[in-house]
Chain A
Amino acid sequence: DVKVTQSSRYLVKRTGEKVFLECVQDMDHENMFWYRQDPGLGLRLIYFSYDVKMKEKGDIPEGYSVSREKKERFSLILESASTNQTSMYLCASSTSGTLYEQYFGPGTRLTVT
């Protein structure tokens, strides 16, 4: 079974802190994704990566950056956390090709106070 793990299930940070969210997948997938999930808005894509050291902006990249130094690991960075970044963050991975589904991690619920 594909496994996608995220470093924390719950995280509380203060405004202005730098926040790292880490995601690891164990199925040698090429593609990795970061979403945020907010009530009534569904999932919105922040960034995705289709190869090591490659990244593409999603629909809401402002205030975020990402890093992919190894194929299995994709990090989301909040350079200076703000209260409007309080959300559920979901990582996903998939193999290349549009026929293939994305596999999701359990999510990190981030609260910025």
Chain B
Amino acid sequence: AQSVTQLGSHVSVSEGALVLLRCNYSSSVPPYLFWYVQYPNQGLQLLLKYTSAATLVKGINGFEAEFKKSETSFHLTKPSAHMSDAAEYFCAVSHPNFNKFYFGSGTKLNVKP
């Protein structure tokens, strides 16, 4: 079975500080992992995805994530937060059949001036 746990429903950082959003997964098969971002009153937009190639994945807007099999983690980072990064972030793992996704409960990122 697949599942995703996002630690911290709310994270607050200062502008220019490191962003770290945590995601742990469980999967009975090699996982495919995704991070999505949702801005207020919008749908979800893909930030990046891991599909068993390089373990360090770079995405849009300066975000990256590292797949660590030993820790079953796929944490999202950005070296320097910008005000425009304020949004909700979702980690997801895909199921091998029918591209079914399992989403975490989301982490709201607040960026303080």
Contact = CB atoms under 8 A, between A and B. Distances in A.
Nearest to A56: B98
Contact of B100 (A48, A103, A107): A48
Interface of B: 6, 9, 32, 34, 36, 41-46, 49, 51, 90, 94-101, 103-106
Contact of B99 (A4, A97, A104): A97
Interface of A: 4, 9, 31, 33, 35, 40-45, 48, 50, 56, 58, 90, 92, 94, 96-107, 109
Contacts of A97: 99
16 contacts: A9-B41, A35-B103, A40-B105, A42-B106, A43-B101, A45-B100, A98-B95, A98-B96, A99-B51, A102-B99, A102-B101, A104-B36, A104-B44, A106-B42, A107-B41, A109-B41
Contact of A107 (B34, B42, B49, B90): B42
